[in-house]
Structure 1
Amino acid sequence: MHLLVYLSLGLFILGAEASSKGSWPCPEPEEIAPCTCNSDAGDINMDCSNVQNDEELSAAFKANFPFTDLNRFTMIKNLSDEKIGVTRLSADTFSNVTFTSFAISHTTLTSVDDLAFSKSFAIMESLVISYSDLTSFPFDILKNCPKLKDLRVFNNQIKHMSNIHSESLEYLQVSHNPELHFNDDTFQTAPNLKQLLLNKIDLQYIAPDTFAAQERLETLDLSENKITSLVPDSLRFTSPVIKEIKLQKNHIETVDEGFISGLSGGAFLWMQHNRMTEIPENVWREVFDSVVDAASKDLFVFDDNPFRCDCHIKWLVSSDTYMTIIGENTSCDDGTLLNDDILGDFINQHCP
């Protein structure tokens, strides 16, 4: 009888150990459900895409974690599915568990506490919260995140972006936040930005030197906004590697002399779908000359602007070099292409 008891007890212990070894280095599955955990090449990742509310998310992090330094946290639903019902990330949500990256999308999240990611500040490298309902985000935390390179908070309802204090940040996307406001010097303390996406935020004005502090900037996206004019130095760049400036689908009518500087060969300027009627020589010749050494063509794209094709464009159409730089679909207000040979011949013949 005693032998049977000992055998039964031994089998129970062995079974328990097998279960622990099966989930290790993750917590026991039932303790974190409906979240799941997996280990891959030494990285421990956690997926909480199936949680229904704040309480379920917080409860998962009350489990016994063999290790608390995890790699990736995911909470994402397809846009065709119902949103994940989490509304708030508090200082206690993740307990003592840390992550190097967060990917959160398609939720009912409306607020993120200043300390929600505090345990991860020292190691966090990327943070994405998209297609949710955030009305604010604690941008001030960036100064406490020395390894954060990638921050994306697009497709939310954020109304204000405070100054970005970060030496590490390389990618910032705040696109699709209607009526988002920021200060003229917001990016001056983020010198290592490479990709800056500010499209579709209802931006109306670009102050002089707004992006002059970005010495490594490669892409600036200001498309689909409400910009009506470009003033001197509004697009002054000090980065020698700038590749793309996107201004398409704005309301740009006037462009002042000296509005842009710092371009180099191969930089693309997207200006299509605006309201410009002129390409004045005093404004644009220097801009064209700054990229003449580029091997690429169609660097400046002006499609769908109602340009008046008169003697004021002779400086442009009479130059094969400039006509190579300008996009081949640039047209007059009557639809005639600027690179039309008949138009060029007529202007050269009749204009002094």
Structure 2
Amino acid sequence: MICVILLQVFGVVSVAEEVILKSSSLLPINAKDLNSVVNICQEDFYPCTCETYSWDLIPSLYVHCNEVPSFESVQAAFRRTTASQVKEFVLTIPSFEENKTIPANLLSGKAAQEITLICPNTETQLTVDPKAFNFSEDYTNFIKFSTCDLNQLDYTFLTNFNVLKEISYFNSNNFSQWYGLPSLPSLMKISVDSSSDFKDFKNLAVSKLPALSEYSIRLCPHFELLPNTTATKKLRIESCPLFKEWDIVGRQSRLTSLSLISLNNQTIENALDSIVSSSVVNTLAELILTYNGLTQVPSQIQLFSQLQNVTLSDNNISTAGNRSLAFSTPKLQRLYLNRNGLSHFESEAFQGDFSVCQVLLGSNNLTKLESSVFKSVLEQMDATDIGSFTVDKNPFECDCDLAWIFRDNLHLRDQIKDGKCTNGSYFAELGPKNFAYCNEETNTSTTVTSSTIQSTTIPSTDTASRPFQLLDPVLFLIILFISISV
């Protein structure tokens, strides 16, 4: 606790001290030791910039070299500064060094946890000296190539990078030869984003990557083929219209997370038909199907026995039909249905155990919550006080159709989050008095007459948002009499 307070008071420590601080957090620290690690960003990293961010539990250095005249100027900046490690190092290849090899010992004996190499344009041939980042071997866990032509790249410079967990490519081309790729025992993820020519992983030596289990492929119009492996645990395919190898996906017996985004309705149907006939139906815990133009909840979802998180947001599902949300999974945790234009649930739409599920219905067109649809589910949620419906940004009319909640079952109100009426009243403010004059026989009617509910509000000097007030008839007559008399 003393260490944390001192760090907050004195400012920034370098990533170089992270291991020391973590291992000695229970030991006393004196002012001399503290002064040796604080305010590192006040050193002169020019022509690079140095930043720290408040969200880091232990303040770390983010060094960006985006407008530097030469590789030597970067080496000089790291030579004259004392931090032995930085959290992030970003280099934009200098225009005068374009198509030249990044030299050995670029960071002058220092190490970077995350490395990003950015080329001026996709015609720039990136090459890296085998010893360019030799002091980062046991520290770097992420490396990214952006806007480069990687046709000449020799991956030998990653030799002995034993803690590297992810390689990422953004808007880069000709990288799928993976020439000289060494054994990377900790590499778990490969990400490819916005590559116009990337087609497949057929040249990737997966035998050298025993931990590789996650692929994220997005905005790659020619991508067609995954590696011939069964070790994939997480897969994201986004805006890759030529990818059709769903049988390969079905062979991933360890797959727990699948994201299929910005494809189309028919592609999703084909994908799910193939996957539910495989062993993945019993392993998948997360399914994300956003921006696919879906007009109904895919029926295949009901067959996945281990689902915990389901995302169907940003589609065109205006109605949830009977049993469309019937899950065989024992404990669904999150169901996202945001931004669908959803306006109606049939009475038996929800089937299964939703007791610990967060159901997100924000930014839809719901005007009411029918008791025949929601009551039994809310009772499940109330029993655990974990599950809930989040219903922000829906045009709820808040008429007598909601009396079943706020007058007859007020204990269920807390399981409905962020509800707001079109008249400005918040669900959290509504109670029995607001629905006292609703006719019990017509509570569930979709039509509410003026004799059933008054929408006039009681005048108030309080400027805070309040629920609408239903006027007592006697009080109304008194006010009317006074007004006429005056």
1:159–1:202 distance in 2 versus 1, CA, 3 Å: farther
Change (3 A) 1:135 1:145: same
Aligned pair in 2 of structure 1 residues 219, 66: CA closer, same or farther (>3 Å)? Answer: closer
2:265 paired with 1:203: no
Pairwise CA distance, 1:287: 1.9
Are residues 1:262 and 2:262 paired? no
Partner residue, 1:222: 312
1:249 aligns to 2:344 (yes or no): no
**1:173 match:** 259
Deviation at 1:230, TM superposition (A): 1.3
Return closer, same or farther for 1:41/1:254 CA change in 2, 3 Å cut-off: same
**Residue correspondences, number:** 304
Amino acid at match of 2:145: S
Residues 280 and 308 of structure 1: CA distance in aligned 2, closer, same or farther (over 3 Å): same
Match of 1:151 in 2: 235
The alignment partner of 1:212 has SS state of: helix
Q: What is residue 351 of structure 1 aligned with on the other side? A: 439
Task: Tell me which structure has the larger Cα radius of gyration.
Answer: 2
Q: 1:284 aligns with which of 349, 370, 374?
A: 374
* Cα separation, 2, equivalents of 1:121 and 1:262: 44
* Correspondence for 2:199 among 106, 112, 117: 112
1:49 corresponds to which residue? 145
Unaligned runs of 5+ in 1: 1-31, 78-82
* Pairing partner for 1:334 from 401, 423, 428: 423
Task: With a CA cutoff of 8 Å and minimum separation of 6, indicate the structure with the bigger relative contact order.
Answer: 1
Equivalents in 2 of 1:192, 1:167: separation in Å?
Answer: 7
CA distance in 1, matches of 2:425, 2:390: 16
- CA distance in structure 1 between the aligned counterparts of 2:405 and 2:263, rounded to whole angstroms: 37
TM-fit CA distance, 1:186: 4.6
2:159–2:182 Cα contact (<8 Å) kept: no
Measured after TM superposition, the shift of residue 129 of structure 1 is 3.2
1:280–1:34 Cα change, 3 Å:
farther
Verify the 8 A CA contact 1:159 1:179 in the aligned structure 2: no
1:72 Cα deviation (Å)? 4.5
Write the distance in 2 (CA, Å) between the matches of 1:308 and 1:48: 50
Q: Which residue of 2 aligns with 1:75?
A: 168
Cα deviation, residue 135, structure 1: 4.6
TM-score by length of 2: 0.53
1:248 corresponds to which letter in structure 2? N
Check 1:253–1:157 CA distance in 2 against 1; reply closer, same or farther (3 A cut).
same
Alignment counterpart, residue 389 of structure 2, candidates 291, 300, 308: 300
Structure 1 distance, partners of 2:209, 2:301, is 27
- Conserved 8 A contact 2:355-2:377: no
Moved more, 227-236 or 271-280: 227-236
Identity %: 15
SS at 1:49 equivalent: strand
AA in 1 matched with 2:435: I
SS in 1 for 2:168: strand
Give the TM-score taking structure 1 as reference length.
0.70
Q: Structure 2: 5+ residue runs without aligned partners?
A: 1-126, 441-486
Amino acid paired to 1:149: K
Deviation for aligned residue 1:267: 1.0
How far off is 1:178 after superposition?
A: 5.2
Note the alpha carbon deviations across 1:270-326, whole angstroms, 9 max, x for none.
0011012232222222222232212237x1011121223333222222212221111
1:309/1:72 CA distance change after superposition, 3 Å = closer
More helix per residue: 1 or 2?
2
Q: CA RMSD in A?
A: 3.8
Question: Aligned letter for 1:215?
Answer: S
Matched, 1:275 2:365: yes
